[in-house]
Structure 1
Amino acid sequence: MLKDRILKVSMSEAERKGFRFTMGELAKQLGMSTKTLYGYYPSKEELLNEMIDLAIDEMKMKENEILHDSTLNLLEKLQKCLVLIPADFQFAQLQYLEELQRYYPKQWETVDQFIHEQWTGIFLLLDEGIAANKIRPINKEIFIEVYIGGLYRLMEHASKNRNMISLQDTMHEMVDILMFGILKGDVHEEN
């Protein structure tokens, strides 16, 4: 189906160049006229809406798979859920998220709302970990705010430095610090 092909090439363009690709460039990549492309997506914003909706749906589906994966232990599930990024649309670089925020505020609002509201699975894992005495009792709201604040701060930093930090690498590092801290395991025994 042509609409699926348009979405796939659009996601590839976003991964390669960020969200500032033009519809003309996209039409050229697809080997079609801009008029034909606009027949499927009357505006770039509508195309971005569908790209973002697909990415969010994929993340929800993957989170559900992780939560029900009996081969993973609790901490593995928590870590995998916290670093979830859609496979086909990894918002490959942090500055691309900031670009979306700056140039496409309505589309960013959808991503931002998802980032702030999609925590049910994480809360369940944290509660399970606390009940099993694998995670110390924490204020979950603060944990989430630290996570979101860290992500947004890293976006800002990436935008200013343009150092092409991989979002996936950054998320793994941030989640590792959030889950395991900065102290070595034997530090507590030294005191």
Structure 2
Amino acid sequence: MDETPSQTALRERLRAVGMELFRREGLRFTMQEAARAIHISKKTIYAVYPSKEALLLDMVDDAFAHIHARKQAILDGPGTLTDKLRAVIIALPEEYTALDLQQMDLLDEKYPRVAARVRQHLETGWEPTLALLQQAMEQSVIRTVSLPVLQRMIAASIESFLADRTLEQQGIPYARALDEMMGILLDGLLIR
């Protein structure tokens, strides 16, 4: 069954308010709070989202759509290959950090389908980035490496930085940690 324009608009508003509530309260936010935030009844929410899990799934998909759009804009924009490599890998807008992967254990417990969707997104959508890395190897901008190994290293680092806030507690914000990771990947550890 096709959605009406008003249902589509309501879904968009609910995803936005859901993300805002999630930023503030984590998974503790309720559908009642979401309804109150946009001045509708809880019954109206359930007309477009049959459950909180359905809303969370859409929120995750929406956040990753924004991330992929941001990456594509970087790839299509100006800059050197090196600049694009660094930027595309660390191009994680607020939506990504708002996902707060510290809550993955809780997601696994309460919403396993949502946790699986987050992991699926972390592991997919790499084609443009891998093509850029391949181009960088072909143009001798970076040395030839195994792309699957590099992809896993980057994905694991991103997931680890998001899930473990130890670095932030040590005064290293998430964005700086990713930038440092990219510097180490691109420049290596050895002093030349």
Could you state the TM-score of these two structures normalised by the residue count of structure 2? 0.79
Following the alignment from structure 1 to structure 2, what is the Cα–Cα distance between the partners of residues 22 and 165?
32
Contact 2:90 2:179 in 1 (8 A): yes
Change (3 A) 1:84 1:99: farther
Following the alignment from structure 2 to structure 1, what is the Cα–Cα distance between the partners of residues 41 and 173?
33
Change (3 A) 1:44 1:145: same
Residue 27 of structure 1: aligned partner? 35
Within the alignment, does 1:54 sit opposite 2:71 as a pair? Answer: no
The unaligned stretches of length 5 or more in structure 2 are 1-8
Contact 1:83 1:172 in 2 (8 A): yes
Following the alignment from structure 1 to structure 2, what is the Cα–Cα distance between the partners of residues 17 and 5?
18
Residue 115 of structure 2: aligned partner? 108
Following the alignment from structure 1 to structure 2, what is the Cα–Cα distance between the partners of residues 176 and 101?
32
Greater RCO, 1 or 2 (C-alpha within 8 Å, sep 6+): 1
The unaligned stretches of length 5 or more in structure 1 are none
Residue 9 of structure 1: how far off its partner (Å): 1.0
Within the alignment, does 1:147 sit opposite 2:154 as a pair? Answer: yes
Residue 108 of structure 1: how far off its partner (Å): 1.9
Q: Which amino acid aligns with 2:115?
A: W
- One of 127, 131, 148 as aligned partner of 1:124: 131
Pick which of 142-151 and 164-173 moved more: 164-173
Secondary structure of the 1:19 match is helix
Q: Which amino acid aligns with 1:50?
A: D
Pick which of 54-63 and 162-171 moved more: 162-171
State the aligned residue count: 182
1:65-89 residue CA offsets vs partner (Å, 9 max, x unmatched)? 22111x11111111121113244x2
Residue 6 of structure 1: how far off its partner (Å): 1.6
Pick which of 122-131 and 58-67 moved more: 58-67
Instruction: Give the alignment's Cα RMSD to 1 decimal.
Output: 2.7
Residue 3 of structure 2: aligned partner? none
Secondary structure of the 1:18 match is helix
Residue 125 of structure 1: how far off its partner (Å): 1.3
Q: Which amino acid aligns with 1:128?
A: Q
Q: Which amino acid aligns with 1:103?
A: K
Secondary structure of the 1:58 match is helix
Residue 82 of structure 1: aligned partner? 89
Residue 22 of structure 1: how far off its partner (Å): 1.6
1:97-152 residue CA offsets vs partner (Å, 9 max, x unmatched)? 55444432211212211221222112211111112111011111111121222233
